Chain A
Amino acid sequence: MLQGVTVAYGRRVAVQGVSGRFAPGSLTAVAGPNGAGKSTLMQAIAGVLPLSAGRIDRGGLLARQLGILPQAAGIDRSFPISVGDAVLLGAWARTGALRGADAAAARQVRDALAAVGLAGMEGRMVGALSAGQVQRVLFARLLVQDAPVVLLDEPFNAIDARTTADLLALVRRWHAEGRTVVAVLHDLDQVRAVFPDTLLLARGVVAWGPTAAVLTPVNLQQARDMAEAA
């Protein structure tokens, strides 16, 4: 539940007065023009960015209990980390910073990699993977996190069609399991095909509800106008 959520970088307001509710178990796309504050809102929900005003009620969950897929741009793909170790970071809630990983965590990593089509690749280095494979690794990390709420920030940017289809299937699975999934997306056809609900954002809320009612030409034009005016 968001109440008047406002986030600013210094004097520049990126998200202004966003109020509304992601129903438990809902599958919602966050759409809007570039600079609409979509990623900022996701980071605010994840507790990474402080709010300038407003309130976020995470339904009794702590911010760190939400599963988050950050934008690919924030990840250092040249860092020498193995696929297995990258996925194991998903077990942070149990291992924390200092505890070792047990056999159950190792099994979870194996299963998660199999589920994203990277079975047996634990020992490969992330730097040797394609962009699509790296995204699969990050989805495997989300599987290990096993969070009731999953936040995806532009999960299918610069990813090949087959990987996108496979990962969308995972998103549908999370939805079917009753998890709340919120994803920032650019491809409106994808939003219409897969996401029952949409939040159309242009710093503030343009429309929020069933996708067909939100992604109308009038709303989309209004979002563009608001973004350009900002």
Chain B
Amino acid sequence: MTTYDALVGPFVEFGFMRRALVACLALGAGSGPVGVLLLLRRMSLVGDAMSHAVLPGAAAGFLLGGLSLPWMGAGGMVAGLLVAMLSGLVSRTTALREDASFAGFYLTSLAAGVLMVSWRGSSIDLLHVLFGTILAIDDAALYLVAGIASLTLLVLAAVYRPLVAECFDPGFLRAVGGRGSLYHLLFLFLVVINLVAGFQALGTLMAVGLMMLPAAAARLWAVTLPGLAAVAAGIAAVSGYAGLVLSFHLGTASGPSIVLTASLCLGVSILLGRGGMLRRGR
């Protein structure tokens, strides 16, 4: 087998591989920058919790429309936003902090979602929902993923300044009347729609993989926020491509292969990155 056959061949030969690659690239373009902001806002685990929180909505979509991303996406979006708002409400009005209320809601959501899918679907369906089916992505799903990535980048560009101000100096933003909670909610909306885009590819359990792993790796290479966003999107794209190639040749599941490739990128960054173990002391 030539290098060309190994690295490019699968995408020339098979339409489903081309679709999967385009989906990964679009996913990385949107999820990478969102992941960077989650990381900088010290909300990495909230992203993880949110990815589980979309499950009952996705399951409701599955019950209504079968394994269709638009149906499951719409359901997931409603469930994710509902959990985000309820968690915010509980943490503001009770002694529970936001991470604790998120944990409570996402565990409930995960259990409810699994129960709903297994009630009407087969265990194969459950596997699809939990771990994704990027190789089965169709045109409608591809448009949805690309649309979400485009919307994410446009919204981030528009509200870049308040998001930065809210992270860097929230007291100042409040003082100048910047309505930080509005932008916080808008940001959570972006997190949810990107998780919805991710779960067709990687499933609800790993949708956050292409969001957080490239972002964490980027933190070890780039210095500026635009640099971080670009590096994260780049690492997500490389992970998507390399994960697909590996899964094609090794016969492994595509979603975990992509996430593990992103993990490998993070491992290399931890060792060799600008702020990594081997270079930090120099």
Which residues of A does B touch, CB under 8 Å? 43, 46-48, 62-64, 66, 68, 70-71, 74-76, 79-82, 85-86, 89, 92-93, 95, 97-98, 125-126, 141
Contacts and interface: CB of A to CB of B under 8 A. Distances in A.
A225 B156 CA distance: 52
Given A80-B228, A85-B164, A93 B175 contact: no
Contacts, number: 73
Contacts of B171: 43, 48, 68, 70-71, 74-75
Interface in B1-57: 40
A140 B170 CA distance: 18
B223 interface: yes
A43 B177 CA distance: 13
5 contacts: A63-B177, A70-B169, A76-B40, A80-B225, A85-B164
Interface of B is mostly: helix
Contacts of A76: 40, 167-169
Contacts of B223: 80, 125
Contacts of A89: 161, 165, 168-169, 172
Contact of B161 (A48, A95, A126): A95
Contact of A79 (B159, B168, B177): B168
Interface of B: 40, 158-159, 161-162, 164-165, 167-172, 174-179, 183, 222-225, 227-228
B162 A97 contact: yes
B252 to A, nearest CB: 36
A184 B17 CA distance: 63
A82 B178 CA distance: 20
Given A97-B161, A97-B178, A98-B161, 16 more contacts: A46-B175, A48-B171, A63-B175, A64-B176, A70-B172, A76-B168, A79-B164, A80-B224, A81-B164, A85-B164, A89-B168, A92-B176, A95-B161, A98-B158, A98-B159, A125-B224
A81 B169 CA distance: 11
Nearest to B228: A80
